[in-house]
């Protein structure tokens, strides 16, 4: 049966080749759409690792470069002034803000292994206020002050990626190639801190310590407000800061508003792409339907002959759908040969094998369903021909 159908497709290879090309391209579009949808859905399901409710960031935008001696004092004054506001519950330091793409990365080679990570800096109590979860070791604390090492916290992904089967507490991740480099000692492992928001990839992430009494270069303050704070807080703080240090500009934004903005920035292009892709797929579906319909009409005598020789309506229907399924599979296989290059050559870092196979399966099911739906009605017409009517032509 299968070989027979294949032979018939081969006999009509001219007209089938264009349909196959169309199906192959359509499959690539469906695949792209499912990769994006599945990846973003999966990422959205993973917890952020912190709470953003009632958190605000005061961003300091200096008009000149950081001055070691003067600006630390200014920053301490700013912190002191903000702390006195009645709405403020807690105040912390965080170098790279949440829900923005400000990043610092480092790459070091330790024992022949390249370790690449994102880094950030916060103060001792920040993790607690942010609602982060500790998996191993401890948070930063006063015992880390005036030591001959710099303490660091790493996320679970860092451990899973670089030291999957050992305890990392006490390890030194300073760059061994730089002489006299201070030891960077891992003191704790936390679950996650997804700085770049819900749709970002899980990356190895390292926190270094900032002492709130001696913060160094910090261009932002994180404030936890009591739930009833309003716009007047913002206005008051901006005025105080501007008179404290007029050489800087300031902006205040809640984490939540940044999060909304980031989600919008991610979903708008995705939505536009999905709408266009859906139209393309509807177009292909209708095109297939039209071509099949015409195909069945022009093969009236062939079908009539089969009916006259005793073929049932069901077997005719099976033939039409079977042929279409095979044509679809050929198109999908061609698309597969192209698509499989992507994870093989590592074109997109985000596209790993598991995502590839899941998306491929989802797209395959979708395409076959689509082909089935497109073939159903033309197949039905074919079964309606009575042999005498169908053979009438000759």
Radius of gyration of the chain (CA): 31
Give 233-298 as a DSSP string. HHHHHHHHHHHH-TTEEEEEEEHHHHHHHHHHHHHHHHHHHHHHHHHHHHHHHHHHHHHHHHHHHH
Query: 106, 145, 251, 369: which one contacts other proteins (CB under 8 A)?
Result: 251
Query: 46, 201, 282, 344: which one contacts other proteins (CB under 8 A)?
Result: 282
- Could you tell me how many residues of this chain bind other proteins (CB under 8 A)? 44
Of 205 and 250, CB closest to other proteins: 250
Picking from 212, 255, 210, the residue whose alpha carbon sits closest to that of residue 75 is: 212
Picking from 371, 298, 323, 301, the residue whose alpha carbon sits closest to that of residue 10 is: 323
What string marks each residue from 181 to 210 as x (binds other proteins by CB under 8 A) or -? ------------------------------
HSE toward the beta carbon, residue 118, CA cutoff 13 A: 19
Q: Does 247 bind other proteins (CB under 8 A)?
A: yes
Q: Does 269 bind other proteins (CB under 8 A)?
A: no
Continuous H helices in the chain:
2-11, 13-45, 68-83, 126-130, 156-162, 231-244, 255-298, 300-308, 313-339, 341-345, 353-384, 387-391
Of 59 and 200, CB closest to other proteins: 59
Of 46 and 272, CB closest to other proteins: 272
Q: Does 11 bind other proteins (CB under 8 A)?
A: no
Q: Does 228 bind other proteins (CB under 8 A)?
A: no
Going edge to edge, which strands form the sheet with 55-62?
88-93, 220-225, 55-62, 248-254
Which residues within the stretch 23-52 sit at the binding site for other proteins (CB under 8 A)? Answer: 25-26, 29
What string marks each residue from 85 to 124 as x (binds other proteins by CB under 8 A) or -? ----------------------------------------
Q: Does 290 bind other proteins (CB under 8 A)?
A: yes
Angle at 122 between CA 263 and CA 209, to 5 degrees: 145
Of 82 and 284, CB closest to other proteins: 284
Residues in contact with other proteins by the rule CB under 8 A:
15, 18-19, 21-22, 25-26, 29, 61, 63-65, 231-232, 234-235, 238-239, 242-243, 246-247, 249, 251-252, 268, 276, 279-280, 282-284, 286-287, 289-291, 293-295, 297-298, 301, 393
């Amino acid at each position: 049966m299968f070989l027979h159908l294949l032979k018939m497709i081969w006999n009509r290879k001219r007209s089938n080749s264009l349909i196959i090309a169309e199906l192959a391209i359509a499959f690539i579009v469906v695949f792209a759409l499912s990769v994006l949808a599945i990846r973003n859905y999966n990422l959205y399901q993973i917890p952020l690792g912190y709470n953003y409710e009632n958190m605000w960031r005061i961003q300091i935008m200096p008009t000149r470069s950081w001055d070691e001696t003067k600006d630390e004092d200014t920053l301490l004054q700013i912190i002191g002034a903000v702390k006195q506001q009645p709405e403020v519950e807690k105040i912390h330091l965080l170098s790279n803000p949440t829900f923005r793409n400000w990043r610092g990365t480092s790459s070091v080679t330790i024992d022949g292994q390249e370790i690449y990570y994102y880094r950030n800096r916060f103060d001792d109590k920040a993790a607690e206020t942010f609602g982060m979860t500790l998996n191993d070791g401890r948070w930063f604390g006063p015992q880390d002050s005036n030591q001959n090492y710099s303490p660091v916290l790493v996320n679970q992904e860092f451990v899973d990626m670089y030291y999957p089967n050992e305890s990392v507490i006490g390890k030194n991740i300073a760059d061994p190639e730089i002489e006299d480099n201070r030891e960077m000692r891992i003191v704790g492992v936390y679950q996650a801190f997804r700085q770049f928001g819900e749709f970002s990839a899980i990356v190895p992430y390292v926190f270094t310590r900032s002492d709130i009494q001696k913060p160094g270069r910090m261009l932002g303050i994180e404030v936890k407000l009591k739930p009833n704070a309003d716009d007047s807080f913002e206005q008051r703080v901006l005025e105080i800061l501007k008179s404290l240090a007029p050489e800087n500009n300031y902006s205040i934004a809640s984490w939540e508003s940044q999060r909304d903005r980031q989600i919008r920035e991610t979903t708008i292009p995705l939505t536009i792409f999905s709408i266009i892709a859906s139209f393309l797929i509807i177009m292909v579906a209708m095109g297939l339907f039209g071509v099949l319909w015409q195909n069945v009409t022009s093969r009236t005598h062939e079908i009539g002959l089969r009916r006259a020789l005793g073929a049932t309506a069901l077997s005719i229907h099976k033939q039409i759908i079977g042929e279409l399924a095979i044509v679809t599979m050929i198109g999908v296989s061609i698309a597969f040969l192209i698509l499989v290059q992507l994870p093989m050559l590592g074109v997109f870092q985000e596209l790993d094998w598991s995502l590839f196979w899941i998306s491929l399966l989802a797209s395959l099911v979708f395409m076959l369903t689509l082909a089935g739906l497109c073939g159903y009605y033309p197949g039905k017409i074919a079964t309606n021909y009575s042999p005498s009517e169908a053979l009438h032509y000759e």
